[in-house]
């Protein structure tokens, strides 16, 4: 069934330099093969007879696969196409892919696994240097991505998900790879349930997909629809694409540019939208997207790249685009990943004309920096909702819409003399598909939000993931990488977890200080202000002193600030120097008669380093099995606990911790009282020889007299820094330590 709503059926007036019109089915067949199976089975294959027919077919003719009565299924392992030969799958017939990973191995055992290498599979169908070939017909090709693999208790899609959560690579086959095969044609065929990309086009001059249907569950990872890469003269027209990743992604990597590409009269459903990138270092140009509807995708119009793979993207026009229920209608970002590199993205001559999102979303226009801006024209663009922008030059006109953006280094030039009008949008349903469909298990919706610095997750920025999380909270998985950004947590029930058990693999770091941020409490890399927060397997760091000397004033540089109740940290590293960790109460205005509201924090198996007052505040914090490490400094203080008034419910407890130091560090004090009242208990704690014998010191000796009112206590301190007989006389030497978590935290037990 072809389109009923074409604006025209003749030649496409767009950027493909060929005169592309609707293809037609072949009239000459060298062989017609009839289906032998009516149900799924894995014992008899049609691979050899189909491959034999293709190999023996003269150029200019076709091999036809036809149903026979109730028999409609062809079962195949990988095959390859031949120059000038078309494979036709008749209506009612379906080609099913083998479920045996060994059939796809590039090397023995390389397919159907998750590891660091990936890319271990042959595609189901390969056209390699096979010019003028194609796949046509009203039948279907089913990759069976959600069917259980032979000799394994998982599906291809399960492997893709496993790779995502473990930050590794999957080896799953693609349905069709077109490699250096000019003038390849896909016509009226249905592709469904691919284990990986449905169609990958590489270095082709002339590729046409017309009237193609691609249907795969939205929860099936990395199942791109059609990806033309380093190719020219490409037309994708009158097609329906609903999948689990990019509906269409134009790429240009080291194999060369992508240019003269037409995306005309298409309908996208679930997926990641109409994308360019992330590889753009080969250059992308002369792209025309016209008459596109996007219904229910995560992204709409998207150009994505970064320093590791960026290049020139220009002469790109989107016209007559309608979107509905799209989370991110417009995304033009040079920050797809946090990877370093010298391949700088350059987006210019980008035009959006007559673009309408009928539902609100979040749009992003993000240049790299002030020297490398996004340059885009909006003519009659309606995209309600929030817009995030930085380092961009946005021209609006000649017709204005409702798109509003502002931000750092954003220049908006309004050259609009008339008010535009939103498109009258229609969103037709995905058409029915005839013929048998493989039995697949649809992956459940994974509510985890995935962040990866290399762009393989849903977000490359942790704060972006936090912003996208629902108001009631979420679980955010963070892949290894360095995330140079400031985090602010204002939503409750957020759980941040590093994908690796080694917390040094995922590092969230920034370099603000009290001197350049208007005070210590504005310097934190990570700010936790909402209750019921959890973090594990992560590093929070402030590296201000990596590039600045540590001075007596202005060098306070927080790695973590917590003013939230029921916050817990497991296997987390906190790196800084002065004032590394602040744990604080809420609502303190005792001078106005407003008491401090106690907040509770639990740190387990954590590593915390610093030198001056590097664990401070008036929170109610318990540290268990943690290493507290003193960095180089002339003297130092581990704690600076301080209460606003004597009865404030606030204390630090260190239980079964280790106090260590960098070589040469000495004269480190267990703490000093930040205010006249302070409570700190160390139990069963091993102390290195860097600890000063007296242990505790006055805030400012000779000026303050806070030690008279503190509650500093120790139980079974041991190691060369214990010095039990030499402790300051204000220290309480406990005969027992029976305090339980419940007694300390009340109605909350984080264990």
- Residue 133: inside a domain: no
Task: Report the distance separating Cα 465 and Cα 478, nearest Å.
Answer: 10
Cβ partners under 8 Å of residue 344, min gap 6: 307, 310, 368, 372
CB 643 within 8 A of CB 618: yes
pTM, full prediction? 0.84
DSSP string, 8-56: -SS---SS-SS--------S-EEEEEE--BSS--SS---HHHHHHHHHT
**Domain closes at, from 423, 458, 480:** 423
**Domain closes at, from 388, 423, 458:** 423
- Residue 542: inside a domain: no
Residue 339: per-residue pLDDT: 85
Residue 406: per-residue pLDDT: 86
Residue 14: per-residue pLDDT: 53
Task: Report the distance separating Cα 670 and Cα 682, nearest Å.
Answer: 9
pLDDT-flagged residues of the chain (< 50): 1-13
- Residue 110: inside a domain: no
- What single-letter DSSP state applies at residue 465? H
Residue 268: per-residue pLDDT: 98
- What single-letter DSSP state applies at residue 429? P
Residue 732 annotated in active site? no
CB 528 within 8 A of CB 563: yes
- Residue 284: inside a domain: yes
- Residue 662: inside a domain: yes
Residue 11: per-residue pLDDT: 40
Q: What is the CATH number of the domain that holds 634?
A: 2.160.20.10
Residue of 46, 202, 227, 245 marked active site: 245
Domain with 597 in it: 584-745
Task: Report the distance separating Cα 492 and Cα 528, nearest Å.
Answer: 10
Residue 454: per-residue pLDDT: 81
**Domain closes at, from 387, 406, 423:** 423
Q: Domain count of the chain?
A: 2
Task: Report the distance separating Cα 484 and Cα 508, nearest Å.
Answer: 6
- A 10 A CB-CB count for 488 gives 15
Residue 68: per-residue pLDDT: 97
- Residue 103: inside a domain: no
Residue of 161, 272, 391, 570 marked active site: 272
- Residue 606: inside a domain: yes
Task: Report the distance separating Cα 423 and Cα 429, nearest Å.
Answer: 19
Residue 245 annotated in active site? yes
CB 265 within 8 A of CB 236: no
- Residue 453: inside a domain: no
């Amino acid at each position: 069934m072809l389109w009923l709503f074409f604006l025209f059926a003749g030649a496409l007036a767009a950027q493909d330099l060929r005169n592309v019109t609707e293809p037609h089915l072949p009239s000459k067949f060298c062989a017609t093969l009839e289906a032998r199976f009516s149900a799924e089975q894995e014992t008899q294959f049609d691979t050899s007879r189909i491959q034999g027919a293709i190999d023996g077919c003269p150029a200019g003719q076709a091999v036809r696969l036809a149903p026979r009565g109730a028999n409609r299924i062809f079962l195949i392992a990988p095959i390859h196409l031949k120059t000038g030969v078309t494979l036709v799958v008749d209506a009612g017939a379906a080609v099913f892919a083998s479920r045996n990973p060994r059939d796809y191995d590039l090397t023995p055992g390389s397919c159907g696994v998750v590891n660091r290498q990936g890319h271990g599979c042959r595609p189901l169908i390969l056209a390699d240097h096979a010019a003028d070939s194609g796949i046509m017909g009203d039948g279907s090709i089913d990759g069976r991505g959600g069917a259980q693999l032979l000799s394994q208790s998982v599906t291809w899609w399960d492997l893709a998900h496993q790779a995502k959560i473990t930050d590794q690579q999957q080896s799953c086959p693609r349905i069709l790879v077109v490699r250096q095969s000019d003038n390849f044609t896909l016509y009226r065929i249905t592709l469904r349930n691919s284990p990986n990309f449905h169609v990958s086009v590489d270095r082709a001059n002339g590729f046409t997909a017309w009237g193609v249907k691609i249907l795969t569950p939205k929860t099936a990872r990395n199942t791109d629809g059609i990806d033309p890469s380093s190719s020219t003269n490409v037309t994708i027209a009158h097609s329906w694409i609903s999948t689990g990743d990019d509906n269409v992604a134009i790429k240009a990597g080291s194999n060369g540019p992508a240019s003269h590409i037409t995306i005309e009269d298409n309908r996208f459903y679930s997926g990641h939208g109409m994308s360019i990138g992330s590889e753009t270092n080969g250059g992308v140009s002369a792209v025309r997207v016209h008459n596109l509807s996007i219904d229910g995708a995560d992204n709409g119009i998207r150009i994505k790249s970064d320093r590791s793979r960026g290049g020139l993207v220009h002469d790109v026009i989107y016209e007559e685009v309608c979107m509905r229920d799209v989370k991110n209608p417009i995304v033009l970002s040079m920050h797809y990943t946090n990877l370093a590199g010298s391949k700088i993205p350059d987006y210019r001559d980008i035009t959006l004309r007559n673009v309408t999102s009928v539902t609100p979303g979040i749009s992003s226009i993000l240049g790299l920096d002030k020297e490398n801006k996004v340059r885009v024209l909006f003519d009659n663009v309606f995209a309600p909702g929030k817009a995030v922008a930085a380092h961009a030059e946005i021209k609006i006109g000649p017709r204005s819409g409702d798109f509003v953006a502002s931000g750092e280094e954003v220049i908006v030039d309004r050259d609009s003399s008339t008010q535009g009008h939103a498109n009258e949008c229609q969103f037709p349903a995905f058409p029915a598909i005839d013929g048998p469909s493989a039995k697949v298990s649809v992956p459940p919706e994974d509510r985890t939000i995935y962040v990866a610095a290399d762009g393989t997750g849903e977000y490359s920025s942790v704060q972006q993931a936090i912003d996208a999380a629902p108001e009631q909270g979420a679980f955010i998985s963070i892949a290894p990488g360095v995330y140079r950004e400031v985090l602010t947590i204002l939503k409750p029930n957020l759980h941040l977890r590093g994908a690796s058990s080694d917390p040094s693999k995922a590092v969230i770091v920034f370099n603000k200080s009290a001197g350049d941020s208007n005070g210590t409490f504005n310097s934190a890399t990570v700010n936790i202000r909402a209750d019921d927060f959890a973090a594990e397997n992560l590093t929070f760091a402030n590296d201000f002193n990596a590039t600045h000397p540590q001075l007596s004033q202005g060098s306070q540089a927080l790695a973590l600030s917590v003013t939230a109740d029921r916050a817990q940290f497991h296997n987390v590293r906190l790196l800084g120097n002065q004032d590394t960790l602040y744990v604080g109460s809420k609502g303190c205005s005792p001078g106005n008669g407003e008491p401090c509201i106690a907040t509770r924090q639990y740190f387990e198996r954590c590593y915390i380093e610093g030198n001056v007052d590097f664990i401070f505040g008036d929170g109610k914090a318990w540290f268990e099995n943690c290493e507290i490490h003193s960095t180089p400094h002339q003297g130092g203080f581990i704690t600076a606990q301080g209460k606003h008034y004597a009865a404030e419910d606030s204390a630090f407890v260190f239980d079964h911790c280790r106090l260590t130091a960098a070589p040469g560090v000495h004269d480190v004090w267990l703490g000093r009282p930040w205010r006249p009242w302070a409570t700190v208990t160390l139990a069963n704690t091993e102390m290195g020889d860097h600890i000063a014998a007296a242990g505790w010191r006055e805030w400012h000796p000779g000026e303050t007299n806070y030690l008279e009112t503190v509650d500093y206590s120790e139980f079974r301190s041991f190691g060369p820094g214990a010095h039990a007989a030499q402790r300051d006389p204000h220290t309480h030497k406990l005969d027992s330590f029976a305090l339980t978590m419940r007694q300390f935290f009340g109605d909350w037990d984080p264990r």
